[in-house]
A and B are shown apart, each in its own frame.
Chain A
Amino acid sequence: MSLTKKNAYLKAAQKGCLDMLPLSLSVIPWGILCGSLAIARGFTELEAFLMVLLVFAGSVQLVVIELMSSGTPLTTVLFSAFIISSRHFLYGLVLRDKIKNLPCKYRIGIGFLLTDELFALSAHNKALNGKRRLVYALSAGASFYVCWITWNVIGIIAGNYMPDLTSLGLDFAIAVTFISLVIPSITNLPMLVTALTAGFLSVTFKLLHFQLDLVFASVLAMTAGFFTSELLKRSKALKVRGEIKALEETQ
């Protein structure tokens, strides 16, 4: 590999870590909570560590720790994890055409690291095209993984002595990072319709304690955005047709 190429990849890797940094920092309270909750609920240090190392999913970790410690049947635990994880199917579907023909190591790597946060950085059109952008995504995802493990380990070590940081309202940091990722992407009416529908439905479904709240709100919002863009296209086409007709009549 030439030196300039190597340099370009190194730069891409650095940018990946840097772009992920606000997201990695905003999950500090959740990471610490995951680690300390596992200890508080009677998991051994090894189990708590394996949980973050292998499962690597904040909301799944929090829910299954509570379920497992209260003696819930295995099938219920696994089913709950499946429901919470189901939004990731959507991420895989979105990235499928870009990833499926890549060598195994990239597929497995991106697949393992594909959190909400990595998806947030990889959902735009150009993402993951070419090796430089792959290096960018992999290092962004890997840096998030390392940070998440670190926050969890702090929680595991602190155990019961750690106050619940989320009760201080530190979960607000997650909301803000997502706000600052979404707002710049809303550049047209269909995107605005999508975001507003998703927001309204996710709040409604959550208040109704609907289990698949996130997935259903997202899919319905995507459908709303899609139909808005189709309607806009159609009305534009009609307008053009009308103008052509008017031109023909004047001639």
Chain B
Amino acid sequence: MNIITIILLACITFSSRYLFLEPMLPLKIGPKIKSLLSFSAPAVLTAIWFPIVFIRDNSLTSSLTDPYLAAAAVAVIASYKTRSIYFTLGISLCVFALLQVFKSALMF
């Protein structure tokens, strides 16, 4: 039973990804829609990472020293200055880890 459900789920995830790649689908994308779609990447990617950084336990992060918030700020600056994924990852993860350790040390 579970296996049938899993196969149905696979059909859903695959068709959601594939549908608009199918040439038989009668759909032409006009220049206005094309221009609209050119904003999709910053829109979707930001919509994914903002909640991770700003929401903690179903409510807005209240403290400015929250590790997520502070390390994300470091990441934004590092990425803006260097444009390097690896440098940004390295420095912000270090800041994040230090703040996490610092926070849990304060709790004890």
Q: Which positions in A face B, CB cutoff 8 Å? A: 22, 26, 43-44, 46-47, 50-51, 54-57, 60, 64, 68, 74, 77-78, 81-82, 85-97, 99-101, 107-108, 110-112, 114, 116, 119-120, 123-124, 168-169, 171-186, 190-191, 194-203, 206-207, 213-214, 217-219, 221-223, 225-226, 229
How far apart are A63's CB and chain B's nearest CB, in angstroms? 10
CA distance A185 to B45 in the complex (A): 11
Contact present for B93 and A207 (CB under 8 Å): no
Contact present for B50 and A198 (CB under 8 Å): yes
CA distance A174 to B48 in the complex (A): 9
Contact A55 to B13, CB < 8 A, known contacts A182-B42, A203-B54, A207-B58? yes
Chain A residues with CB under 8 A of B23: 100-101, 107
Please tell me if B107 contacts chain A, counting CB pairs below 8 Å.
no
CB pairs A–B below 8 angstroms (8 shown) = A51-B6, A85-B16, A120-B41, A179-B88, A199-B46, A199-B54, A202-B51, A221-B43
- Closest B-chain residue to A120, C-beta based? B45
How far apart are B67's CB and chain A's nearest CB, in angstroms? 7
Contact present for B60 and A186 (CB under 8 Å): no
Contact present for B13 and A178 (CB under 8 Å): no
CA distance A6 to B54 in the complex (A): 46
Contact present for A176 and B21 (CB under 8 Å): no
Contact A226 to B35, CB < 8 A, known contacts A169-B96, A201-B47? yes
CA distance A214 to B67 in the complex (A): 24
- Closest A-chain residue to B79, C-beta based? A183
Please tell me if B106 contacts chain A, counting CB pairs below 8 Å.
no
- Closest A-chain residue to B36, C-beta based? A226
Q: Give the residue among A169, A176, A178 with the most B Cβ atoms within 10 A.
A: A176
Contact present for B46 and A92 (CB under 8 Å): no
Q: Tell me whether chain A's interface is mostly helix, strand or loop, or mixed.
A: helix
Q: Give the residue among B10, B19, B35 with the most A Cβ atoms within 10 A.
A: B10
Chain B: interface residue total (CB-CB under 8 A): 64
Residues B67-89 near A (CB distance < 8 A):
67-68, 71-72, 75-76, 78-80, 83-86, 88-89
Contact present for B21 and A107 (CB under 8 Å): yes
How far apart are B104's CB and chain A's nearest CB, in angstroms? 10
CA distance A46 to B5 in the complex (A): 13
Please tell me if B64 contacts chain A, counting CB pairs below 8 Å.
no
Instruction: Beyond the given A174-B52, A182-B45, A203-B51, please list 20 additional residue pairs across the A-B interface where CB-CB is below 8 A.
Output: A22-B86, A22-B89, A44-B2, A54-B7, A60-B12, A81-B9, A82-B16, A107-B23, A111-B17, A119-B44, A173-B89, A175-B68, A178-B49, A180-B88, A190-B39, A198-B50, A203-B54, A218-B40, A221-B42, A223-B36
Contact A47 to B55, CB < 8 A, known contacts A97-B29, A202-B47, A214-B47? no
CA distance A61 to B79 in the complex (A): 31
Chain B residues with CB under 8 A of A89: 16, 19-20
How far apart are A142's CB and chain B's nearest CB, in angstroms? 14
Among the listed B2, B21, B85, which residue makes an inter-chain contact with A99, where contact means beta carbons less than 8 Å apart?
B21
